[in-house]
Each structure stands twice: as structure tokens, then as C-alpha cells.
Amino acid sequence: MDAILIQLLNGLDKGGAYALIALGLTLTFGTLGVVNFAHGALFMLGAFCAVLFNKVLTISAKVKDESITFFDAYKETPYLELWWGDTGATIIDYSVPLSILFVIPIMLLVGVIMERGLIKHFYKREHADQILVTFGLAIVIQEIIRHFFGANPIPTPAPDVVAGSAAVGAFFGLNENLVYPWWRLIYLAFSLSIIGAVFAFLKYTTFGMVVRAGMADRETVELLGINVQKRFTIVFGIATVVAGLAGAMYAPILPPDYHMGMDFLVLSFVVVVVGGMGSLPGAVAAGFLLGLLQSFASMNEVKAIFPGIDQIIIYLVAVVILLVRPRGLMGREGVFED
């Protein structure tokens, strides 16, 4: 029972990340009709925004260490702490959640530039070309990050308050010793709220209504005199922001390195295909489903029956679903069927 609860949380947590990336990917498919292989790189870019924010906050000055009196010792103290004392220290401590404020404008800008500068020219080209050019872009982004941040993962700590673990066992009336990291719970809540926000935005705003109408029948909406393209560009920006936020908040869970985007990309593509191309609820559902399947497959009891199943379960499910239900779980008719 305990193990199941932990795996459930693990799965939801992983599923949250998958769902966020897949949501962005699906938004891009659904609106612009573009297969974006650089989406994983955007996730990675978001994580590195958090790293950069943390680095900027902790720019340090050398200060004489008063506690050592035998000789002149110096220690590095961030300027923020020198200027604002404890307030500064707190800001540094909360660098990852605060970096959200920094990630949103940056990723929005990146998204709009990417759409206007590159992807715009690929609407009329084949899907293979879109895959290839964004694959190239992903390599470029990845290598630029490696040039500036190096090849090693950069640990980015969560705030001290939530660095520990929550006593989930006691909460659910199970074993008292059963604990789960706070930050992962926060990530789960965060991903759920972002997903909720995106859906609410599409459902309850006029802008979202136009976007949904444009996804369903672009020509008619354009005939009504609405500039669909402009809105789709903004949607691409939003997809980029979602990927960036997913990455930034993931930094304390997995220290960011330059190829984390590629690792997630393959999985999230599988997620999108399983969910059904162009279906937003499908992407989210498939994200959580595959996250759960993966973590349950990594339980020792399951591994004893099917050795190695944890490594391949996602792909196996994808293959089966694609062969049995070609449009994925909730795919619409006529999307990406040429």
C-alpha cells in the first residue's frame, strides 16, 4: 500500500511534466499545424532561465570573514545579502519560484521570435521539413546552452522551507514514516494549475474562443475578418511559456543539463501521439497515464514478472495504441492524416 502511494505520487509528478510539455506541443500542432521538435529544447531553456536567475541573484562580493580571527579570510557573499540583509537572503532562497516572473517574458519573447523568424516560413512545407528544421534548431539551442553553462548538470535548490519531505503517510493514515518531497508535491499542484489556467483561458476568454474556432475551421474564421494568424502566433508564445515554466519548476527535481530537453522531447512526442494529435485533453490525459504507467512499471514486484518493463513500457503502450487506435486516445478526425 505504501509503495503504491509513493508510485502514484511519482507517476502523477512525472505525468505533470509530460502533460505540460505535451500540452504545449499539441497547442502548436492544433493551431499552426507545425510539428515542433524544438519543444523539448524550450523546456530545457526554461530550466536554464531558472539557473540563470539564480546565478544573477547570487553574484557575490568578497567580504572579510569576521568569524575567523587568526588570519584574513574572505568569503563570498551575494550583493543582495549585503544590501538588504535577511530580505536579500530570502529572495535568493526563493530564486526558483521567483524565476517564474523572469521566465514568462523571456519565453514569450523566444516563442514569438521563433514563430515569426522561422516557423512562419514552414507552414506550407511538408511535415518532414518541419520536423527537420526544428530538430536542427533544437541542436543549435542545446549547443548554445552548453557553450555558456557547460555540460554538467547544475544543481538548483528549492527554497529551504520546502526542501524537506511531507509526511504523506500520516496524512493518508498509512505508515508514519512514509514521506514525499515537498517540492514534487508543489510541482504536481503547479502543473495542474497551469493546465487548468490554459484550459480556462481557451474556454472562457474571447481570445480563447477565437483560437478554438480557428483550430476547428481556420478559413471560416478568417473570412469573418479575424486575424487568426496573429492570435496563433500568441498561442505559440503561450505554448513556449508553458514549456519554459514546466522546465523552470522542474530544475530542483532534476538538475538541468543541456540535453534534458531531448530526453523529454521523445517521451512527450509519444505522449502527444498516444493522446491523439491536436487533442488538448488527450495530451493531458495521456501525460498522466503514461507517467503513472511508467512509475508503476518500475516497482520491484512488476519488474520481477516482466524484467526491463520499466524501460520500455511507454514505448510499448505507444506502439500498441498507435496500431489499435490510430488516432490516439482522443484524437480528432482529419488531424495530421495525409
Partner 1 sequence: MKKILSSTPLIMLIFSVVVLSAPIWLAPLGANYPDLLQKFAIFGIFAVGYNILFGLTGYLSFGHATFLGIGSYTAVWSFKLLTMNILPAIILAMIVSGVFALVIGFLSLRRSGIYFSILTLAFAQMAYSLAYSVLTPITNGETGLQLTQQDPRYLDAIAGIPVKDGLPSTNLFGTLIKSMDGYFGFYVAAVVLIVAFYISLKIFRSPFGMKLRAIKSNQTRMKYTGFNTRPYLLTAFVISGMYAGLAGGLLASIDPLAGAERMQWTASGEVVLMTILGGVGTLIGPLLGATIIKYFENIFSALNSNELHKIFDFLPEGMENFMVTVVGPFVGEGWHLTLGLVFMIVVIFLPGGIMQGISHLFGFIKRIFGMGDKPAPVDDTVNNDSVSKGGAS
Q: Which residues bind partner 1 (CB under 8 A)?
A: 35, 118, 121, 125-129, 131-133, 135-140, 142-144, 146-147, 262, 266, 269-270, 273, 277, 307-308, 311-312, 315-316, 318-319, 322-323, 326, 336-338
Q: What is the DSSP letter of 338?
A: -
User: Minimum CB separation from partner 1 for residue 246, in Å?
Assistant: 21
Report which residue type is found at 264: F
Element (H or E) spanning 131, and its range? helix 127-149
User: Judged by CB, which is closer to partner 1: 133, or 166?
Assistant: 133
DSSP lists the bridge partners of residue 63 as 75
Q: Contact at 8 Å (CB) between 327 and 333?
A: yes
Distances from the Cα of 252 to the Cαs of 110, 248, 255, 281, in angstroms?
23, 8, 6, 27
User: Judged by CB, which is closer to partner 1: 103, or 270?
Assistant: 270
User: Judged by CB, which is closer to partner 1: 192, or 316?
Assistant: 316
User: Chain-centre distance of CA 258, in angstroms?
Assistant: 14
User: Minimum CB separation from partner 1 for residue 133, in Å?
Assistant: 4
Burial status of residue 77 (CB atoms within 10 A of its CB: 0-12, 13-18, 19 or more): middle
User: Minimum CB separation from partner 1 for residue 108, in Å?
Assistant: 22
User: Minimum CB separation from partner 1 for residue 192, in Å?
Assistant: 26
User: Judged by CB, which is closer to partner 1: 66, or 333?
Assistant: 333
User: Minimum CB separation from partner 1 for residue 312, in Å?
Assistant: 4
User: Judged by CB, which is closer to partner 1: 231, or 259?
Assistant: 259
User: Minimum CB separation from partner 1 for residue 319, in Å?
Assistant: 5
User: Minimum CB separation from partner 1 for residue 81, in Å?
Assistant: 34
> b/e per residue, 266-294, with b = 16+ CB within 10 A?
ebbbbbbbbbbbbbbebbbbbbbbbbbbb
User: Judged by CB, which is closer to partner 1: 87, or 311?
Assistant: 311
User: Judged by CB, which is closer to partner 1: 5, or 139?
Assistant: 139
User: Phi and psi at residue 75, in whole multiples of 5°?
Assistant: -135, 160
Query: Smallest Cα–Cα separation from 25: which of 269, 284, 245, 247?
Result: 269
